[in-house]
């Protein structure tokens, strides 16, 4: 099994299979609108804009699992994200922890052990082009941190 065996539903409807991004690294982040880390949307958007031409995908996965900080509907979440000019793909709201967790998050936990279980909103995971989980960062690590950049850069082709 790899990340490419899983998919989500897009916040606007339709499928978001991770296999659509085969060959490209994907930074997957469970998000929430009313969290102290919510301003990280700005960094996620900046990362998306600066690296998407080189192949990076940023995927936001709204979840209400931590502190009930994502209580809104998918439409409300999308409208909220417009404040941050979010243009990277967003999924419909899902569970990311426990027995009800989305299958992708259960896979992450089996692949990465404790590192694969999100502890709060804005936990970040990096999937390489082959669908392997190659990195995980706590909420306190910003999307434009040196650690995340050092993990993403070798997965991207040189240039732009």
Selected catalytic residue, list 35, 117, 134, 156:
35
Task: At 11, list the tokens.
Answer: 């916040």
Instruction: Tell me the β-bridge partners of 135.
Output: 126
Instruction: Tell me the β-bridge partners of 22.
Output: none
Q: Is the dihedral of CA 62, 68, 72, 73 positive or negative?
A: positive
CA distance 27 to 36: 20
Instruction: Tell me the β-bridge partners of 31.
Output: 62
3-state secondary structure at position 27: strand
Q: Any catalytic annotation for residue 81? A: no
Catalytic residues: 35
């Amino acid at each position: 099994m790899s990340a490419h065996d899983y998919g989500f539903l897009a916040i606007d409807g339709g499928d978001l299979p991770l296999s659509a991004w085969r060959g490209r690294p994907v930074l997957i982040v469970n998000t929430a609108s009313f969290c102290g880390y919510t301003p990280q949307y700005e960094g996620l958007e900046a990362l998306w804009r600066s690296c998407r031409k080189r192949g990076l995908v940023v995927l936001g996965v709204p979840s209400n699992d931590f502190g009930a900080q994502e209580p809104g509907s998918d439409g409300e979440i999308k409208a909220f994200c417009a404040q941050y000019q979010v243009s990277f793909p967003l999924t419909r709201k899902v569970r990311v922890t426990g027995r009800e967790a989305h299958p992708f998050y259960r896979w992450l936990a089996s692949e990465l052990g404790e590192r694969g279980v999100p502890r709060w909103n804005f936990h970040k995971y990096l999937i390489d082009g082959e669908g392997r989980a190659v990195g995980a960062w706590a909420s306190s690590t910003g999307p434009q941190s040196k650690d995340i950049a050092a993990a993403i850069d070798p997965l991207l082709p040189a240039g732009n």
